Amino acid sequence: MLPVILSAVAATCLAHPAALDREVGWRALPWLPPDLARQVVRHEQDFASGAAEAARWPRPAHQSGGRSGIEATIQAQCERLAASIRDRAPFAEVVAGLGSLAHLTADLNAPFLTAQSGDRHAQAFALYVPTAAPRIPLVFYGLNRPMISGAAGGIPTMLRPSRIRAQDLAGYVREDLDRLGGPSAWREACSKYSAACCRSPRRT
Ligand SMILES: [Zn+2]
């Protein structure tokens, strides 16, 4: 019910490209329990719908800090998912919830989460990420045991270092973009690369 209410008063989140949510979900499959991975594949469209729905939640849910910030929203989403699984909700609903969680965690790790819509570096980075994502290897650092076995109320505190790291990354990205021709040059290059990618068959 909560997502329904939230989506009625929301604008689409622009912190990262929507395609990234699906990419992250797809590439996380090897680390999921096999039964759950099979359900995610079976309900791929529900995963995408859940991610898209989370992108429409109100702006504070995509911003760091506070009682309705992204850390608290991730906690609430984890609790909602745990309840869905415990109550044997249909897997379409569970997988949609995972899609929403994928969107939120991608936001948490987005360097330009707080950027204004006219931020040229943020725009160039948003174009760059989807073109680069297939070439970036996914690294799994192992399970975060305290986060899995601890109380859900501790999740926001445990997420804070990730947000700080992502925020710091924005400064390095700005420097790199400027050193390599500035945001405009990157936007042009990425647009050409995207067009080339669209002409080539990709994973189905
Ligand atoms: Zn978002």
Determine, yes or no, domain membership for 101: yes
Distance 55 CA to ligand 1 centre (A): 5
* Number of domains the chain contains: 1
Count Cα neighbours of 38 within 13 Å in the Cβ-side half-sphere.
2
Asked whether residue 9 carries a pLDDT value surpassing 60, the answer given is: no
Distance 28 CA to ligand 1 centre (A): 19
Distance 54 CA to ligand 1 centre (A): 7
Determine, yes or no, domain membership for 57: yes
Residue 22: Cβ within 10 Å count:
18
Determine, yes or no, domain membership for 77: yes
Distance 188 CA to ligand 1 centre (A): 25
Which backbone phi and psi does 137 adopt, to 5 degrees? Answer: -70, 145
Distance 76 CA to ligand 1 centre (A): 15
Expressed as residue numbers, the domain containing 162 is 2-199
Distance 45 CA to ligand 1 centre (A): 19
Determine, yes or no, domain membership for 204: no
For the residues 155-172, what does the mean pLDDT come to?
90
Determine, yes or no, domain membership for 58: yes
The per-residue pLDDT for range 22-58, each reduced to its tens digit, is 888 888 888 888 999 999 999 999 999 999 999 999 9
**Residue 195: which pLDDT band, with cuts at 50, 70 and 90?**
low
d(CA 96, CA 28): 15
Does residue 173 contact residue 109 with C-beta atoms inside 8 Å? no
Determine, yes or no, domain membership for 177: yes
pTM of the complete model beyond 0.85:
no
Distance 11 CA to ligand 1 centre (A): 10
The per-residue pLDDT for range 82-138, each reduced to its tens digit, is 999 999 999 999 999 999 999 999 899 888 887 777 888 888 888 888 788 778 887
**Residue 16: which pLDDT band, with cuts at 50, 70 and 90?**
confident
Does residue 99 contact residue 41 with C-beta atoms inside 8 Å? no
Does residue 76 contact residue 6 with C-beta atoms inside 8 Å? no
**Residue 171: which pLDDT band, with cuts at 50, 70 and 90?**
very high
Q: What percent of the chain has pLDDT over 90?
A: 37
- Which CATH number covers residue 65? 1.10.575
Distance 189 CA to ligand 1 centre (A): 26
Contacts of 184-193 spanning 24+ positions with Cβ under 8 A: 184/120, 184/124, 186/124, 186/127, 186/128, 187/120, 187/123, 187/124, 187/127, 190/124, 190/127, 190/128, 190/131, 191/127, 193/131
